[in-house]
Chains A and B, each alone.
Chain A
Amino acid sequence: MHIGKIYKRNSIILFLFYISIFSCKNIEYSPNQIFDRNSYRDINANNLKKLGTGSQDDTVRFVVTGDTQEWYDETVKFYKTVNSIPGVDFVIVAGDVTEFGTLKEMQWLAEKLANLNVPYVSVIGNHDLTSRGRDAFIRMYGELNYSFVYGGVKFICHDTNSREYQFNGNVPDIPWLKKELQHEDGVSSYVAISHVPPISPDFDQKLVKDYAAIFDETPGFLTSFHGHTHNFEEFKLGSSPTPYVITSAVGKREFLLVEIINNKLSFEQISF
């Protein structure tokens, strides 16, 4: 056979091959678009609906993780590990679901986390606020400050990424937190979850005192969970009684398994 003919045929096969591995899913208008035809919507609200109120659940058991960023391989191992633990009610991802704040990264992560056997919610991280990430996150997950009650525990998920707002004094939103931590029937304890911990220079240092005071003054406030530093840490602010706990990062292959029984919180560090 003539060499040119082989070359021509192979080129056409190659051509057909690389057209065939792509589909409509690969139609992208811009890396900066905030949604597309296939992107997830309102994950937090939909998953909270699945979770329910847990009114019959006297053992609230949940996973706190965060900073998935560029660690999709590890995220796969993460959901497999969580799926193998019995009795987990839900998972909270404490921010930085992307490295670059793009829709594609959010979508990739949501596709992986869709394999969790239990519902999950995400909280916004500083990386997710870069580029068009804020709008993409709001559409895919929902509000940046939100709360839910499960098994008599109120979970306060909020934005503490002050640096991304040029330390404008509104992040974290102190009045919103005050309102959310007011006494409520059917709620016996409170847990806060946010990305940047108050000991970080990325947290608005002008607000630390007020922030800590709200938690300290709330009867039944258990713990404030954070991400961001990628290192497990447990600390208190000065003489304040509130415990703060930083979950490790998915990239470090560690997460926290938290349990609340009779208004007492305990947790375990799990490696995977």
Chain B
Amino acid sequence: MLFFLGTATSSAQKLKFLIPDAAIGQYAGSIGYFSIGAGYEIFKNKKGYLDFNYGYVPASKGGELHVATVKLAYKPFEIKLSDWGKLYPFNPGFFLSYTFHEDLAFRFHSDEYPRGYYYWSPALRPHLSVSNEIELSMAKIWKEELGIKRVGIYTEFNTNDFYLANYFQNVSSLSLSDVFQLGIGIRLKF
């Protein structure tokens, strides 16, 4: 019995890394009308973000879609605004989105198209992103622990392989603001 409890505790400790460091809610940003997710602070310096999001687009907002996203980002700069807030002004990242819809296959069927006919994946999209985040230290604001230590509010701009391919071929008629899309989100950090 003791032995069993002992192994249970140690495996629980081993699995502790699975507990997310943050809960995420995001509006737009190409991964859903609204998406929710679990975030992890990664690397030794905790400056990396690894997020898993599920997003939904209702029929009334552009046709019903379900989207799964894995995001990776890094916060190289940190600016202390005051003792209750920090700004992370420029956080580059990369993410993959997968959209679930009957019109969107992982790839074009090889028995319907000659090899190389269409060269991209309809459902899987690679994105490049850059975000900025204002982080509020809740302990300083609320004066007490409420389970949420810090709250980050971020805006994220992203583009994808489709838009970049178009942009690089049309630098005079398309602008960066044509190809970069905006999302706004909140990170509740435990």
Chain A residues engaging chain B, CB cutoff 8 angstroms = 7-8, 11-12, 14-15, 18-19, 21-23, 25-36, 70-73, 75-76, 99-105, 108, 112, 130-132, 134-135, 163, 166
Contact = CB atoms under 8 A, between A and B. Distances in A.
B122 A130 contact: yes
B30 interface: yes
B68 to A, nearest CB: 12
B177 A26 contact: yes
Nearest to A127: B118
Report, as a range, how many residues of chain B touch the other chain: 35 or more
Given A29-B33, A163-B113, A99 B182 contact: no
A35 B62 contact: yes
B104 A73 contact: no
**What secondary structure prevails in chain B residues at the interface with A?**
mixed
A153 B60 CA distance: 39
B160 interface: yes
Given A105-B166, A132-B101, A33 B177 contact: no
B94 interface: no
B87 A11 contact: yes
B106 interface: no
B10 interface: no
B182 A27 contact: yes
B125 interface: yes
Contacts of B31: 30
B162 A31 contact: yes
B30 A22 contact: no
Given A27-B181, A73-B169, 14 more contacts: A15-B90, A26-B157, A28-B182, A30-B99, A32-B99, A32-B101, A35-B62, A71-B169, A72-B166, A73-B173, A75-B173, A104-B162, A131-B104, A132-B101
B61 A29 contact: yes
Contacts of B174: 72, 108
A266 B176 CA distance: 42
* Most chain A CB atoms below 10 A, which of B31, B87, B122: B122
Contact of B63 (A101, A102, A132): A132
Nearest to A23: B177
19 contacts: A11-B77, A21-B177, A22-B182, A25-B177, A26-B157, A28-B30, A28-B181, A29-B33, A30-B67, A32-B101, A33-B57, A33-B61, A73-B169, A75-B173, A99-B162, A99-B166, A105-B166, A130-B108, A131-B104
